[in-house]
Structure 1
């Protein structure tokens, strides 16, 4: 469902990575590790069509992202991709339930029952009316997980989702992330520095400037 072929990215004349090829099968959990600055987050953004690349191709659900307009890419992401980021990116003026509901509202598919079910699934039952500033870091990350999965995407992209959390909380967040992607049959690509998180993946890949390897 995700195919990356011979992908290369440069900033001006400085290579970030080159010759990156990988497939992510439906329901598969792939972890990508590598040194800081090697372009892991940039690669994740390319997989979603959020960033451009200089060589190669990315196909998502059979669609070549290079052939799509910006609007068409945005619609594809809205329907089929979920994001979980290290910095949570919840909106402070919305309560927890409203934050989680955003992807459904963007698709014109409001569903309070589904929002409540997702909050229950990630261990936030009863907290829908709270504002983000009333939550802990681990709770905020679980809000981000619920928001990323509430519209049932086929692909979840997670960029250092446990990087700001202590080890015990990080393990709980990974439990929720893995349980929900498995339940929904979603594929997941996780970028991480955490060996503990990477060890839980079906497959672990190492990104370097010259490419990607097992």
Structure 2
């Protein structure tokens, strides 16, 4: 899936979060976005998914202008074509691991237990499908979040600091799983990160700052 952002600007009242942001992500490309805390990296990622609004510019996913779509239309586009890995995991505590991962397929009315199990194996969670989230480590929870974001085979994966709370060894394993799964299915990957190690694995690194985005 191609992603095109043109002259994007976001404000909270009189405070400018970012302005004049333009970038393109090609199908299958892995782009990392880095920058100081507070420059709006996570907000930019939310705009890419249509989870947040913006004040100027445009966001196009495969030619569809998100700014012209209703909330329901954006949600349907995300459900079918976009995966999102949140920094805080956002797994549902009352569902076990397999049920959390299966959720996007259930929302599409496409249950597939075999696909869920295969993805759990692929991200290093084999045999843990019946465990509840509170029985897992931080690294395991992040892999649950990655598996859930990928199970419906999205064309675009957006990841917000997926290794931010992890030790270096676990972070490397999480990145291995993330990259392997997106490469296998030809998905585009946009990663927001403070980690130089994670950014170094991208095809391209962009810097978001007060002057916009460069790289």
Fold match by TM threshold 0.5 = yes
Distance in 2 (CA, whole Å) between partners of 1:85 and 1:76 is 18
Partner of 1:34: 35
Distance in 2 (CA, whole Å) between partners of 1:14 and 1:92 is 36
Aligned positions, number:
214
Give 1:210 shift.
Answer: 2.1
CA distances 1:59-106 after superposition (whole Å, capped 9, x unpaired): 012100011011000000000000111111111110000000000001
Q: How does 1:122-161 map to 2 (within 5 A)?
A: 122-161=123-162
Q: Which runs of 4+ in 1 moved over 3 A?
A: none
Distance in 2 (CA, whole Å) between partners of 1:124 and 1:201 is 24
TM-score, structure 2 normalization = 0.98
CA distances 1:20-72 after superposition (whole Å, capped 9, x unpaired): 00000000000000010000000000001111111100001210001101100
SS of corresponding position for 2:143: helix
Q: Which runs of 5+ in 2 are unaligned?
A: none
CA RMSD of aligned residues (A): 0.6
TM-score, structure 1 normalization = 0.99
SS of corresponding position for 1:21: strand
CA distances 1:88-126 after superposition (whole Å, capped 9, x unpaired): 111111000000000000101111111011101111111
